[in-house]
Structure 1
Amino acid sequence: MARPASPASSPLATLRSWWASDIGPTLSLGLPLAGAQLLQMAINTTDVLMIGRLGAEKLAASVLAFNMFTVLWFFGLGLIQAVVPLGANARGRRDTRAFRRIIRMGFWIACLYCIPAWSVMFFAQDILLLLGQEPKIAALAGDYMIALQWSLLPALMILALRGFLTVMEKSKIVLLATFCGALVNALFDYLLIFGAFGFPRLELAGAGIASAFSTAATMVVLLLYATRERRLKRYAILGRIWRSDWATLAQILKVGLPIAIAIVAEGGLFAASSILVGWNGAIQLAAHGIALQITSITFMIPLGLSQATLTRVGLAAGRGDRDAVRRAGWTALVVALFVMFCSALVFWTLPETLISIYLDFDNPQSAEVLGFAVSFLAVAALFQIVDGAQVIGINNLRGLGDINVPLIYTLIGYWVVGITLSVTLGIHAGWGGVGVWSGLAGGLAFVGLLTNVRFARREQLGLMKG
């Protein structure tokens, strides 16, 4: 007579063990980071809502300036994000000295990068004029940028601090600090944009100052925690901050530069998609903007999970724990795909409900916008799933220190496969915005497939060291 399976080997027991060892830690680290990303979106939304009350010209000027700021910030983000895989690997090896140096040189890169970035921002008005913008709008954007540019340094310092705290698996403080920054931003937006309670009415300049204050507040909260919390202060991340370590700085740049290029390439892909959809008319472009906003919100969860897997894979690789690398990488992929499949079901079953939030149906064009947006969300449901797969796959490889090959995958996937499909289907085949979204999904699927296959073959390819 066969013996019954022991409780320890039952599916429920296996699931509990998997939850305790991998799913729980991934969610515990990743969800606060996702929440922080959502709060950052809320900060940007607050700026748009308040500046919008100043009129269309000033809102347009703020959009131009903020887009220029975002491109420069994205590049800095990529450079400093190298702190996470390098720091996680050093901590996994128990090399506290190397870990501390990586964080310190992350601060140095934040400061050094601001010099050329500020130089570009200072000439924002002239650059926008060269790009053919209206002189009045360019002048307003330049004035806004003069104030906004001072938020860049604290914003980049926040990234370095986030890298340290994420590697130390202290992501909840990132969520709290971002929440504090959101409150400060909303308060100073109201006081300085409109001159409330006796404050000067600074309009666009006030919005820029509010951004600088809010990022500084977030940075201060993170810095105080990183230097005073019992487990963290022993790392003395500000100790001898003036001492250079050019070898470590070069190491961060070697890893960070490909990441920065990949991030800017992805941002450029979505900017190009808006141009392609815009060729089909303002109605489709409006629908595209709504669909993109909805998908951006749900994408924050796999983005947070990808930052968690970047850390967990890096820590395991530093320890030389092959089994932990495997479990961390595939767990993040399974969880991300599950989350995105759930969001896809919502997109398929409740598209009108989601889209109607953004529309005023007293406007006769809203019904037409709704129709296009529903069709875009149907494609976006599939788009979400492959987008989740590609962001996890990329960061699994980055956790192993594999940077350059994923960059090649992303450049080909985004700018050869994605754009080619978008132009072919959206313009030449006459599918319009649906064709552009289908092309984006195809490009992201290409990257997702290649990165995850490469992670699966990490042993054969020699990506696991030690």
Structure 2
Amino acid sequence: MLALAWPLAAANLLQMMVWAIDVMFIARLGTVPLAAASLSFALFGTIMWAMTGLTGMVSALIAAALGRGTGVLREVRRATRMALWLAVVSGLVLALAMLKGEAFMLLTGQERKISAVAGDFLAVLGWAAIPMLICNVLRSYVSALGRPVFATLVVGVQVAFAALGNYALVFGELGMPALGMTGSAIASSITAWLGVLAYVALIYSDRKLRAFRIFGRWWSPDWSYFRRLIVLGAPVTLTIVAEGGLFNSAAFMMGRIGAPELGGHTLALQLAAFAFQVPFGVAQAATIRVGYYYGSGDGTGIARAGWSAIAVGTGFMATTAAAMLFAPEFLLHLYIDPRAPENAAMVGFAIAYLRVAAGFQLFDGLQAVAAGSLRGLQDTRVPMWVAVLGYWVPGLATMLWLGFATPLEGLGIWIGLLVGLVFVSGGLISRWLMRGRLGLVPVHESEKKLRAIA
């Protein structure tokens, strides 16, 4: 589990650096561009994350095919090909939706000037969705076939190119025109397409990956696999929307309370998001390992893979929780000077929120890895409802009540996030514990014969 999970976790952390680099360069353009970019990345990033759930389920199908051991070449090739089709279609839909970015910003009550700048930025950034989703499919493919370090290498190259592209196109360096925010959006698209080319080159350079010929007859459809990916992936997408929507709504609530509270919230959430990338990588590994044993009908293997992932994911989050409790100022040094007088109010709120974040670290890691393990069992519909109900009923209700009807205000909103995570993690781990009784684990042929004799 560790061998498969660490490259995926590293790739997740590096991917966050790609987005951070864009923000760093745009911040130098002024307050309005930075505000517009922050809103744009919040919208585009949440939808992109959701779409990766739709296409990323190909890893479960590949792992199950490898576990069965029959017709592997055909199944892996067709599943991956249809996932690539789905990436292009969903990416195109997202790109067209981003053309209405300004209208969405105005609908949420943002300033007209900021909305206009964000709309122009999203109209260009949206076209990066297609190569980003293709990269997600190819990442799932190489990881399921035992080459997760390729994902780390590709995103590492993208980090370097994102910095170079922003430097050249935002400010007009290296002989390129100064395009400002538009230059950053173009750099994002170029960086994403570079990732696609890097994956293709790595796949053709590796004998095992090349043997499946996933790019052969790319025009030939297999609608059964296409439908299967949608049936399994759509609930994952809605699960991500439920979680991402709740956390994004917290930012809008904080904005209604006050600027220092919003600043402290942003800092604390950034640290929590960085920590989350590790259990998220473990969850991706769990989907592959559990999916392999699901395909082979090995209930014992399923249990070992799932519990190993849960131990690794929650164990790491226990470490980050301790850091948030006992060294919050050290962590905040990554973003600001905590001792600067002008940051005093914001830092005070950030430290208070980090204490709550320390509590939900364990539950966040637990729900992520439990969900990943259940996806390996191709169980996505019920976990979707667990997430929707857990986040948006007790979670949102607690946020609204404590945040606006009690003196807790921002702290109450964070307690609401914790409540949502507790309910969701409890529901998902209960389903994992009851997987046998719920019929989620396939019965091995030998066990079927024993039952028949009995």
Report the TM-score when normalising by structure 1: 0.91
Aligned counterpart, 1:327: 304
Would the alpha carbon gap of residues 130 and 352 (structure 1) be closer, same or farther in structure 2, given more than 3 Å must change? closer
Q: 1:71 aligns with which of 29, 46, 49?
A: 46
1:361 and 1:437 map into 2 onto residues whose CA distance is 21
Deviation of the 1:424 alpha carbon: 2.3
Q: Is the 8 A contact 1:413 1:443 kept in 2?
A: yes
1:393-404 matches, cutoff 5 A = 393-404=370-381
The answer as to 2:110 corresponding to 1:140 is: no
Aligned counterpart, 1:61: 36
Deviation of the 1:410 alpha carbon: 0.3
CA RMSD of aligned residues (A): 1.6
Q: Which runs of 4+ in 1 moved over 4 A?
A: none
Q: Is the 8 A contact 1:356 1:370 kept in 2?
A: no
The answer as to 2:395 corresponding to 1:418 is: yes
The answer as to 2:364 corresponding to 1:387 is: yes
Deviation of the 1:387 alpha carbon: 0.5
Match of 1:201, SS state, is: coil
2:339 and 2:412 map into 1 onto residues whose CA distance is 29
Aligned counterpart, 1:291: 268
Deviation of the 1:357 alpha carbon: 3.5
Match of 1:67, SS state, is: helix
Deviation of the 1:363 alpha carbon: 5.3
Residues 247-268 of structure 1: CA deviation (Å, up to 9, x unaligned): 1101100001100111111110
2:34 and 2:351 map into 1 onto residues whose CA distance is 27
Deviation of the 1:232 alpha carbon: 1.1
Aligned counterpart, 2:78: 101
1:429 and 1:145 map into 2 onto residues whose CA distance is 38
1:163-202 matches, cutoff 5 A = 163-202=140-179
Would the alpha carbon gap of residues 273 and 234 (structure 1) be closer, same or farther in structure 2, given more than 3 Å must change? same
The answer as to 2:324 corresponding to 1:309 is: no
2:323 corresponds to which letter in structure 1? V
Aligned counterpart, 1:34: 9
Aligned counterpart, 2:449: none
Residues 305-333 of structure 1: CA deviation (Å, up to 9, x unaligned): 11101110000110111111000101111
The answer as to 2:65 corresponding to 1:83 is: no
Residues 137-194 of structure 1: CA deviation (Å, up to 9, x unaligned): 3332232223322211110100110111121121101000000011111001001100
Aligned counterpart, 1:349: 326
Would the alpha carbon gap of residues 301 and 114 (structure 1) be closer, same or farther in structure 2, given more than 3 Å must change? closer
- Unaligned regions of 5+ residues in structure 2, if any? 444-454
Q: Is the 8 A contact 1:258 1:407 kept in 2?
A: yes
1:337 and 1:133 map into 2 onto residues whose CA distance is 38
Q: 1:373 aligns with which of 342, 345, 350?
A: 350
1:145 and 1:376 map into 2 onto residues whose CA distance is 31
Deviation of the 1:46 alpha carbon: 0.9
Larger mean CA deviation between 209-218 and 117-126 belongs to 117-126
Q: 2:100 aligns with which of 119, 123, 130?
A: 123
- Unaligned regions of 5+ residues in structure 1, if any? 1-25
Q: Is the 8 A contact 1:88 1:311 kept in 2?
A: yes
Would the alpha carbon gap of residues 449 and 130 (structure 1) be closer, same or farther in structure 2, given more than 3 Å must change? closer
Report the TM-score when normalising by structure 2: 0.93
Match of 1:231, SS state, is: helix
1:39 and 1:312 map into 2 onto residues whose CA distance is 23
Larger mean CA deviation between 80-89 and 404-413 belongs to 80-89
Residues 31-51 of structure 1: CA deviation (Å, up to 9, x unaligned): 111111111111111111111
The answer as to 2:184 corresponding to 1:215 is: no
Q: 2:182 aligns with which of 205, 227, 234?
A: 205
Q: 2:202 aligns with which of 206, 225, 242?
A: 225
Q: Is the 8 A contact 2:299 2:442 kept in 1?
A: no
Aligned counterpart, 1:13: none
Match of 2:208, SS state, is: coil
Aligned counterpart, 2:229: 252
2:398 corresponds to which letter in structure 1? L
Q: Is the 8 A contact 2:92 2:129 kept in 1?
A: no
2:253 and 2:179 map into 1 onto residues whose CA distance is 36
1:306 corresponds to which letter in structure 2? A
Would the alpha carbon gap of residues 131 and 380 (structure 1) be closer, same or farther in structure 2, given more than 3 Å must change? closer
Residues 381-439 of structure 1: CA deviation (Å, up to 9, x unaligned): 11101101111111111110111110110001110111112222232232122222122
2:106 and 2:87 map into 1 onto residues whose CA distance is 29
Deviation of the 1:204 alpha carbon: 1.1
1:115 and 1:234 map into 2 onto residues whose CA distance is 29
Aligned identity (percent) is 37
Deviation of the 1:131 alpha carbon: 4.1
Q: Is the 8 A contact 2:60 2:375 kept in 1?
A: yes
Deviation of the 1:130 alpha carbon: 4.3
Aligned counterpart, 1:272: 249
Aligned counterpart, 1:409: 386
